[in-house]
Amino acid sequence: MKCVIQHMSAGRMRVHVGTSFMTPEQACILEKYLLGIRGIRSARVSERTGNVVILWNEDSEVILHALSVFHYEDHEAEAADLSGRKLTRDFEEKVFWHCTKRVFKKLFLPAAVRNAVTVMNAVPYVWKGLKTLVKGRIEVPVLDGTTIGVSVFTGDFSTASSIMFLLGLSEILEDYTHRKSVDDLARSMALNIDKVWILSASGEQILVNVSDVHEGDIMLVHSSNTIPLDGIVESGEMTVNQSSMTGESVPSPKEPGSPVYAGTVVEEGECRIRVTSTAGSGRYDRIVKMIEESEKMKSETEAKAIHLADKLVPYSFAGTIITYLLTRNTARALAVLMVDYSCALKLSIPISVLSAMRECARHRISVKGGQFLENIAEAETVVFDKTGTLTYSRPKVAMVVPFGKNDENEMLRLAACLEEHYPHSMANAVVAEAENRGLMHAERHTKVEYIVAHGIASTIDGKKAVIGSWHFVFEDEGVKIPAREKKKFEQIPDKYSHLYLAVGGKLAAVICIEDPIRPEAPAVIAALKERGVHSTVMMTGDSSRTAASVASLTGVDHWQAEVLPEDKAAFVKKEHESGKKVIMLGDGINDSPALSEADCGIAVSDGAAIAREIADVTISEDNLNALIVLKDISDRLDQRIHRNYRFIMTFNTALIVSGAAGILPAASAAWLHNLSTLAVSLHSMTDLLGENC
Amino acid sequence: MNWTKTRFLAYGFLLGSAGLKVLTSKDAKKVYTKITAAGMRCADETLRVVDELRENAGDIAADARQINEDRKREETEKVIEDAA
């Protein structure tokens, strides 16, 4: 595509794309395309100017090339992205027309007509105030209705219209922020699965792309799978976690005839499901509805501020009456009436929280509610899972040590056959290595049983096959090491994580997996400590050896090894009892009890679907630094809310005092009050972190 | 004779009979449509200018940051030279 560089500086370029008109759809396509290119940190396309602003890291040549080979026809826009862009366009147009109408009114309409229009506009506000009053609640609508009504009544049409203008603008602002936040959140929670097991016509199980599935196909799901499409259960029994649909964290049991929904996660059991709908957009709409209905969006501070705002309204009225009694001056009394804390609080604090959530989304962190940002700011303890969190979630098989007369590759093939159904990161490593070595297999085993944090058991050719940790294979299952090979066993290097495979009660192979820690982990832990996290804890189901070395490398304060999932949750509970707030980071199924117990459960995106369902925050960056970004945003949000609160209180009190003392005319007081409210709200929408993060 | 009152009476009469018909005729509607379309174009153009202003502000900020970084680098280089 023909592009012209408008401006270039280190790490930032602005390019005009194409020669003619750009539609919103095209802008979405371009943005998505650019964000997928390595070396591009961020790309923002404005369809109005036809320009894209790209922030880049490595090499501008790559980017220039990417732009030159780009064509709109080659790519497709994502529906959800488009809805977000349309929301912003609507918002901008609404603001424009709102301001234009006012300018038009003031400049062009003759006075009589203008006043008539003002009176007409005032009616809804007054009416709403009356209705709230009739219900017995003296709240913000009553205040607004009174100020506007009184202004109109005393003939001060200009004040009335300016109040309504600013109130209208604030409403547009709040509505937009709320909708955009819901849209961003829903988009990040939307479905990302691409493959599913289907029962073919001949009764075989085959793995297909989700997009190739038809209505009426039978799909197979078992524990920890995410259900990719809506359907009805044909056979089998299972419990499903539907928290992303309904908000309930208690698993819901399913049996033949029960409906299941796309995006929910199977906790236990397995089923065959007949697909009823292949469309994907239903889930997005459902998430939006769920978010709107849940109370989780509001944080405690927000709720308290709003409650306070409502309680202050009667005092505003009281203040007005007292001023009138003391000064016998209607104008000054009115000035007190026009300045209230309530609408400023009610507007700016939710906007701050929602904007912070959206900023997190821009850093590819998905936060499911304002309450969690508040908890992160207050948290003093952070608990880490080891595998997949402090270490990469893609460990690699270092070597396979066969025992008995078994062949190395055969054992690897067998292990992959068992491990491929479960999304533990060790399992992924085994499956990946088998694929690398070109070892394909048919499904030779019978029903596979997954024992959380221990391993997998199944039957192959009549013999019991198990694969898993030391504790599971040797202690629980009582597997024996072939006598002559004890030395071989002891010589297996300690620095690897070991996965033991046994067939028929005898050790068949030991798979050595190396699990390197993420290079940024020590720096992240140090940064957390700088930010007031007094205790960093690592808890893992892995052996003490590996845990000890990882702990010393990363610098965590405490660590525990060979921990069962219930123990993780129990630890979190203990911290709660001593009054501390706890953040938990994990990625696997065995982290889910602890994740739901924690004040803020964070899931790393490469991990198990169920961890992501239950978690309150999902980090999508393949990098732990997102944790620091999250903590910074939470801390600064906390500071911003308190600063807003202080500003609103002091500024408005000053206005009230000036108005009551007669220094400031009522109209100016109203104007300054509404303007400051708008200013605080607009400021609350700005980023908490700088652009260079 | 009170010309003002008569004038207004005349206007009202005109408005009521022929005027209203003209104002709501199909031709008038075409004019309104054209005006509205022009208004929307005006809105789009204004919003485009706003976007452009924002982009230009970004350019200026980026360049300014660059200047400051260059200055800082020169300063540190000078210091190293003196110590060397």
The whole-number pLDDT of residue A196 equals: 78
Q: What is the pLDDT of residues A441-460, one digit of tens each?
A: 766 666 777 776 677 888 87
Confidence of residue A123 (pLDDT cuts 50, 70, 90): very high
Closest CA to A450 of A467, A433, A438: A467
CATH of A3-77 given 3.20.20.10, 3.40.50.150, 3.40.640.10, 3.30.70.100? 3.30.70.100
Parse chain A into domains and list their residue ranges.
3-77, 89-186+299-353+643-684, 195-279, 365-392+517-620, 396-514
Put simply, the answer to whether A93 touches B51 (Cβ < 8 Å) is no
Average pLDDT of the segment spanning A636-646: 91
> Is the pLDDT score of B75 beyond 60?
yes
pLDDT of residue A692: 44
Pick from A46, A52, A101, A692 the residue to mutate for testing the B interface (most B CBs within 10 Å).
A46
Query: What is the rounded CA–CA span in Å between residue B83 and residue A157?
Result: 72
- At residue A341 the predicted structure's pLDDT band, cuts being 50, 70 and 90, is confident
Which of A2-6, A321-325, A347-351, A586-590 is least confident? A586-590
Candidates A4, A7, A103: best to mutate against B (most CBs of B within 10 A) is A7
Interface with chain B: mutation pick from A23, A90, A96, highest number of B CBs within 10 Å: A96
The CA distances from residue A322 to A110, A219, A411, A554, B19, in Å, are 38, 72, 88, 64, 55
Distances in Å between the alpha carbon of A475 and those of A164, A327, A656?
75, 87, 75
* Confidence at A248, pLDDT banded by 50, 70, 90: low
Tens digits of per-residue pLDDT, A43-96?
A: 889 989 899 999 888 788 888 888 888 888 877 666 557 888 888 899 999 999
pLDDT at A425 over 70: no
**pLDDT band (50, 70, 90) for residue A503:** confident
Average the pLDDT over A382-404 and give the result: 79
pLDDT (mean) for A500-527? 83
Q: Is A194 on the interface with B (CB under 8 A)?
A: no
* In contact, A358 and A543? CB cutoff 8 Å: no
pLDDT above 70: residue A246:
no
Q: Which residue of B has its CA nearest to A49?
A: B48
For residue A232, the cross-strand partners are: A259, A274
Q: Residue B43 and residue A100: Cβ atoms within 8 Å? A: yes
User: How many residue contacts between A and B have a Cβ separation below 8 Å?
Assistant: 39
Q: Which residues of B touch A (CB under 8 A)?
A: 43-44, 46-48, 50-52, 55, 58-59, 62-63, 66, 69
Q: Would you tell me how many other CB atoms lie within 10 Å of the CB of residue A439?
A: 17
CA-nearest residue to A8 within chain B is B59
In angstroms, rounded to a whole number, what is the distance separating the alpha carbons of residues B31 and A412? 79
Binary contact (B47, A96; C-beta < 8 A): yes
Helix (H/G/I), strand (E/B), else coil: A257: coil
CATH superfamily ID and name for A365-392+517-620: HAD superfamily/HAD-like (3.40.50.1000)
Q: Give the model confidence (pLDDT) of B23-64 as tens digits.
A: 788 888 899 899 999 988 998 899 999 999 999 999 999 999
Say whether B47 and A10 touch across the interface (CB within 8 A).
no
Taking the C-alpha atoms of residue A403 and residue A488, their distance in angstroms, rounded to an integer, is 9
Task: Give dist(CA A493, CA A471) in Å, integer.
Answer: 18
Please say whether the structural domain A195-279 has been given the CATH code 2.70.150.10.
yes
- Given a contact cutoff of 8 angstroms between Cβ atoms, the answer to whether A659 and A666 are in contact is yes
Position A636 pLDDT exceeds 80 = yes
User: In the prediction, which pLDDT does A122 show?
Assistant: 92
Long-range contacts for A569-577 (Cβ within 8 Å, ≥24 apart)? A569/A593, A569/A594, A569/A596, A569/A597, A571/A383, A571/A537, A571/A539, A572/A383, A572/A597, A572/A598, A573/A597, A575/A381
Three-class SS state of A450: strand
State the nearest Cα–Cα gap between A100 and chain B, in angstroms: 9
**Which residues on chain A are in Cβ contact (under 8 Å) with B50?**
92
Pick one of 3.40.1080.10, 3.40.1110.10, 3.30.470.20, 3.30.565.10 as the CATH number of A396-514: 3.40.1110.10
Tell me what the mean pLDDT of segment A572-587 comes to.
86
A618-645: string of b/e by CB count within 10 Å (b at 16+)?
bbbeeebbbbbbbbbbbbbbbebbeebb
Instruction: Look over chain A and give the mean of its residue pLDDT values, rounded to a whole number.
Output: 81
> Per the CB < 8 Å rule, is A48 touching B48?
yes
Q: Count CA atoms within 13 Å of residue A361 on its CB side.
A: 22
**Interface predicted TM-score of the whole assembly (ipTM), two decimals:** 0.73
Calculate the CA A278 to chain-centre distance.
25
What are the beta bridge partners of residue A197? A207, A220
In terms of CA atoms, which chain B residue is nearest residue A47?
A: B48
3-class SS at A262? coil
- pLDDT-based confidence at A633, cuts 50/70/90? very high
Closest approach of A12 to chain B, Cα-based (Å): 7
Provide the 10 A C-beta neighbour count for residue A666.
25
A187-210 pLDDT, tens per residue? 766 655 567 788 877 777 788 777
Query: pLDDT digit string (tens) for A351-375?
Result: 888 888 888 887 888 888 888 888 8
pLDDT tier for residue A693 given thresholds of 50, 70 and 90: very low
Q: How distant, in Å, are the alpha carbons of A547, A575, A590, A617 from that of A386?
A: 8, 19, 12, 18
Residue A127: predicted pLDDT: 92
Confidence of residue A619 (pLDDT cuts 50, 70, 90): confident
A51 touches chain B (CB under 8 A): yes
Residues of B in contact with A53 (CB under 8 A): 55, 58
One-letter-per-residue 3-state SS of A41-78: EEEEEECCCCEEEEEECCCHHHHHHHHHCCCHHHCCCC
Buried b (16+ CB within 10 A) or exposed e, A24-48: bbbbbbbbbbbeebeebeebbbbbb
* Cβ-contact A14, B59 below 8 angstroms: yes
Query: Is residue A400 very low, low, confident or very high in pLDDT (cuts 50, 70, 90)?
Result: confident
Domain ranges in chain B are 26-83
Amino acid at B45: E
Confidence of residue A98 (pLDDT cuts 50, 70, 90): very high
* pLDDT tens digits for range A134-188: 888 787 888 888 888 888 888 888 888 888 888 888 888 888 888 887 787 777 6
Cα separation, B66 vs A264, in Å, equals 49
DSSP state for residue A452 in the 8-state scheme? T
